[in-house]
Amino acid sequence: MDKKSKIYIAGHRGMVGSAIWRQLEQEGYKNLIGATSKELDLRQQQAVSDFFKAEKPDVVIDAAARVGGILANSTYPYQFLMENLQIQNNLIESSLAGNVEKFVFLGSSCIYPKLAPQPLKEEYLLTGSLEPTNEAYALAKIAGIKACQAIRQQFGKDYVSLMPTNLYGTHDNFDLATSHVLPAMIRKFHDAKLSNHATVTLWGTGAPLREFLFVDDMAASVIFALENKLPEHLYNVGTGEDLTIKALAELIQQIVGHKGQIQWDSGKPDGTPRKLMDVSKMHNLGWKHQVELKEGIQRTYQWFLDNRQNIKEIKI
């Protein structure tokens, strides 16, 4: 891909979008554009259409979405379904209308059936029922995948969907009401450490298995997709390795330096028993993650410490 190509990163201020922006700049891509949510409401079809007509991007990366953990997904299913559909539909439609040749759509491993065989292969999509706690978000993302697949098939454009496993890293969301499990644990253990190493209560039993990918590795996979014409429309992006939530909690506790007790609230939902990604397709094409979990958590916690005063609480 030409280093002068005009690349629009939707959601460029978020954890994933900002990581993609940084890596593109490091790779020599200078013609990058973005718009904050105040400048452009991606839920508004006309506003998005006008933005595309004015900017005329060559490449679009959709890293914009309404995201959250089990609590947020369970409490606000309508917003998670409708807003994500609006955002991605507007971006995809305007890209097609504007003759954008390359589009990278980012989703989530929650698109796969709750009880699908492990590890999760791309072909398991739509073979069973979804996990109820994040069904709304998953349905929206599945619609986006299918839209990109249809454009690829019908119009011959290079529209590809990348499905990351659980992402974490610098610029993450540490708000306890809306964050995902790993940053929420960092926040809880840190706050408890400051409160004389108070007991930390965590949701569920700690038994589920989860896979985690550092956000810089996700950004690298996006650049890999931009610089190569991938032969299929859907790819998993992850490490291919997982651990129990209990083991994750103990690792984070150690890195943060919390010396208190961990209490598990088994009355709260565990979510899907396991979500390990089969990443063999991306590996076979030449992409592989570089940052291992312990290093990634250390880097994330250090960023949290360095930016603690500037981290805003995210309210719904």
Which residues on neighbouring strands pair with residue 200, listed in sequence order? 262
Confidence (pLDDT) at 312: 58
Residues annotated in a binding site for substrate: 188, 203, 210, 270
Told to judge if 137 belongs to the known catalytic residues of this protein, a careful annotator would answer yes
Specify burial of residue 155 (Cβ count, 10 A radius: 0-12, 13-18, 19+).
exposed
98-125 pLDDT, tens digit per residue, is: 999 999 999 999 899 988 999 999 999 9
Contact 104, 162 (CB under 8 A): yes
The SS3 of residue 59 is strand
17-38 pLDDT, tens digit per residue, is: 999 999 999 999 999 999 999 9
DSSP per residue, 176-205: TTT--HHHHHHHHHHHHHHTTS--EEEES-
Residues annotated in a binding site: 11-17, 106-109, 141, 164-167, 180, 188, 203, 210, 270
Angstrom distance (rounded) from CA 83 to CA 78: 8
Active-site annotation holder among 8, 29, 137, 301:
137
Angstrom distance (rounded) from CA 316 to CA 115: 30
Confidence (pLDDT) at 314: 42
Tell me what the pLDDT averaged over the chain comes to: 94
Answer yes or no: is pLDDT of 85 > 50.
yes
Answer yes or no: is pLDDT of 234 > 90.
yes
CATH of domain 7-310: 3.40.50.720
Domain coordinates in residue numbering, the chain: 7-310
pTM across the whole model: 0.92
173: left (phi over 0), alpha (psi -120 to 50) or beta: beta
270-283 pLDDT, tens digit per residue, is: 877 888 999 999 99
Answer yes or no: is pLDDT of 53 > 60.
yes
- pLDDT category at 190 given cuts 50, 70, 90 is very high
Rg of the chain taking only CA atoms, in angstroms: 19
Confidence (pLDDT) at 66: 87
